[in-house]
Each structure stands twice: as structure tokens, then as C-alpha cells.
Amino acid sequence: MTGQRIDPKINAQWARVRGLMRSEVGDAAYRSWLRPLALTDVAERKIRIAVPTRFMRDWVVRNYGDRIRELWRTECPEIKGVDLFIETEGARPAARPEPEPAAAPERGQEAAQLSSPLDPRFTFDAFVVGKPNELAYAAARRVAESTTATFNPLFLYGGVGLGKTHLMMAVGHLAKQVSPQTVVEYLTLEEFVEAFHAAVAAGQSDAFRNRFANGDVLLIDDVQFLTHRREMQAELLRLIGQLQAADKQIVLSSDRPPSEIEGLDERLVSGFAGGVIVDMSRPGFDARLGRLGRQPRHPLSAMRPAIRGLWSAYCSAHPAAPALRRVVELGAHHRAQDPAAAVRGQAFGCARSGSGC
């Protein structure tokens, strides 16, 4: 912890701030949004409060941040500001400056605070195109480059490790390059569900809906988890209809086609079919090697051709990146021995155990 030891008086003030917030927002909203907050330290006369998740941090900053600051200043005028940070990010503070009210952020800047981050590695340039995925690549690229909704919604499906998330994030990156003010929202279906339930509990359903309805590109990963979730299916159906009516782009991904998602509302199945549904099949040998080799600082480039060939031949039925990590670790351990023999032994071991490389 970088700040000074917390004075008992500060802890008492924090307890009063929480009590006042609870009386103002009600028990449901308090349990959903404010009870998980944890006072961690005081640094340079700033209060630092840990928040469990990015979405919760963003929500608290937008909906309760100003009031928390006001209450702290009332309790202790010496406190210059309040920083809310994501628990797993340690010392990294929230994006919102303290303590003076800032000018309203531009639309694209505000979106960056609200969205889950796009992995900078997942761009179209870093995606290796082969026969099994060239249609998905072309469709995703056209969606990203178009200034109006195209192939709406675009639904990508396929097994684990085939590049669905990569293409979705590439859409977000390129859409913002084409138009910097584009608001891109990316999240998984589970994150969407969690956020919706928390918003309902807090009486903030309209704010939740407006957040996504006001975006330009909505990217939702792993929609296969809509299985038998009638309430969330209805919510997603409403949101998709609203976005389509406003000519906003939607991109979805799943490990199976809509028709095979058990218990999926027929209206959603029909709506997905009204856009473009693309199957991303397992890539061939060369594409698997190329995809890994194109990743920045990837150890594949240091592997001898014979080792690369053995790795792909023996581990083609398993996710590529974990398989390569195991081989690289093994190669480092056996530098003085025959690396090809080591890889063969590792690959056969994977096959016998059925645990994957």
C-alpha cells in the first residue's frame, strides 16, 4: 500500500459517508453498488477506494461519484479528492480527475471509460486469414469500415481458439480508426447479464439501457450462455431492435449457431438469421502456425522448423496457444538434449491423457 496508515478518524468518516449514501439510495442500490467498496488508504490527502470490477467502478463514478466526494468534503474538508480504482489494478486510479469537476468528456472519450478494454493485439493486421475464416474476416472488416450498419447483426460462431474474439475486437479498433468519435461497447454475455441484474436491483434499468442504446457498435461475446435465460433474451431482443432501428451495428459471437443454442427465443433466432451468420472452422496447419507467429513477441519464431512441424502435427486437435506454451517450456528445459524427441514425448503424453497439450 503506497499511502499512509489510515487514521481511525478517517475510518469513522467513511462509515458515516456509507451510512448517508445508504439512506439516500436505498438498501437495494446500496447492496448492489456501494457495499462492495473498500477504503484502502489515504495518499496525498486523497481517499482511495477499491472497487471489485471495471463495470462497477464505472457505474459508481458516473452515478454516485459526485455525491461521495461531496459527503467526504463535508466530513473532512482537508481531503482533496476521492480516487476509485479496480481492486485487481492495484495503484491504478480511476480515469476521472479529482477534485474539481471536469468538463464533460467528448463522446468517444466517455465510451473508453465505460467499455471493457479492447486488447491492442487483436487487430485485423494481426489476424491470419485462411480458407476456413476468410468469409468471417471479410464480413467483419466490411462492418468495421462501413459508416452505416452492415450485415446487422453479424454473428460469428466456432470452437474455442478460432479467432472470434480477435475479430470482434478488431472490428472495434478499426471502427474507431475510421471514425474516432465512434462509441464501441465490448463485453461478454456474462458481464452483460451481471450488469443488467445489478442495474435492476439498484433501480437503474433505464440508465443501463441508455448506456448501450447510445453506443454505435455493440460487441457481445459468448452469447451461447443465453440458454434458457428468458429474461435476458427478452432484454437483448429489445436492445437489438432498438439499435437496428437507429442504424447501429451489432456483432455477436458464440461457440455454436443460433439454431443450436438450447432454449433460445425463436424471435432471436430469426433476428440473427436476418443478418449474416458465419461459421469459423478450425484453420489448417499453415494458418495455425501463421496466427501464432504473427503475435508480437511470440516464442514461435525462435523454434526450429522441425519443432514447429511436430508441435502442429501432434497438437492439432488441441488449442494452439496452450500447446505451444507447453512445448516452449519443454524446449527450454531440454536445451542440452534432443528437442524434437522431447516434443514427441510431450505430444504423445497429451494424446494418451486426453488432457490437451
Q: Between residues 327 and 266, which one has the greater pLDDT?
A: 266
Average pLDDT over residues 231-260: 92
At residue 6 the predicted structure's pLDDT band, cuts being 50, 70 and 90, is low
- Mean pLDDT across the stretch 179-184? 90
For the ranges 91-100, 270-279, 327-336, the one whose mean pLDDT is highest: 270-279
What pLDDT sits at residue 109?
42
User: Does domain 8-102 bear CATH number 3.40.50.300?
Assistant: no
CA quadruple 223, 258, 143, 293: dihedral sign: positive
| The most confident of 7-11, 38-42, 253-257, by mean pLDDT | 253-257
Give the angle 297-300-302 at the CA atoms, nearest 5°.
85
Higher-scoring residue by pLDDT: 142, 12:
142
pLDDT surpasses 60 at 22? yes
Helix (H) / strand (E) containing 14: helix 8-25
Complete DSSP assignment for 309-332: HHHHHHHTTS-HHHHHHHHHHHHH
- Joined grid coordinates for residue 215: 453506443
Query: Would you place residue 283 in the very low, low, confident or very high pLDDT band (cuts 50, 70, 90)?
Result: low
Residue 277: beta bridge partners? Answer: 155
Q: What is the pLDDT of residue 350?
A: 45
- So where are the chain's domains? 8-102, 134-279, 285-353
Q: Which comes out higher in pLDDT, residue 333 or 26?
A: 26
Cell matching residue 41: 488508504
Q: Which residues contact 331 (CB under 8 A, 6 or more apart)?
A: 303, 307, 339, 342, 343
pLDDT at 284: 56
For residues 235 and 200, the model is more confident at 235
pLDDT of 308 above 80: no
Q: What's the chain's average pLDDT?
A: 74
pLDDT at 278: 92
Tell me the per-residue pLDDT of 37-79, one tens digit each, with 9 for 90 and over: 888 888 777 888 888 877 778 888 888 888 898 888 888 888 8
> Which amino acid makes up residue 163?
G
- The mean-pLDDT minimum among 32-41, 199-208, 300-309 falls in 300-309
**Per-residue pLDDT tens for 81-120?**
888 888 764 443 333 333 333 333 344 443 333 356 788 8
C-alpha cell at 106: 467528448
pLDDT for 291? 52
Residue 99 preceded by cis peptide, ω within 30:
yes
- 134-279, CATH topology level: Rossmann fold (3.40.50)
Cell 464533460, residue?
Answer: 104
Residues forming beta bridges with residue 195, ordered by sequence position: none
Grid coordinates standing for 64?
Answer: 454516485
Q: 323, 293 in Cβ contact below 8 A?
A: no
Lowest pLDDT segment from 25-39, 219-233, 283-297:
283-297
CA dist 46 to 101, 116, 160, Å? Answer: 15, 26, 44
For residue 147, give the nearest of 124, 110, 180 by alpha carbon. Answer: 180
324 residue type, one letter: L
Higher pLDDT, 320 or 145: 145
> Distance between CA atoms of 35 and 23, rounded to whole angstroms?
13
Rounded CA gap, 245 and 149, in Å? Answer: 10
Cell numbers found for residue 291? 496466427
The pLDDT value given to residue 213: 83
Give 36's contacts (C-beta < 8 A, 6+ positions apart).
51, 52, 56
pLDDT at 136: 92
pLDDT of amino acid 123 = 93
- Of 190, 231, 235, the C-alpha closest to 208 is 235
pLDDT value for 250: 94
Answer whether 0.75 is exceeded by the pTM. Answer: no
| Among candidate residues 199, 191, 279, 185, the one with its CA nearest the CA of residue 240 | 185
Pairing verdict, β 184-188 and 217-221: parallel
Distance CA 357, CA 346 (A): 8
pLDDT at 332 over 90: no
pLDDT for the residue numbered 354: 43
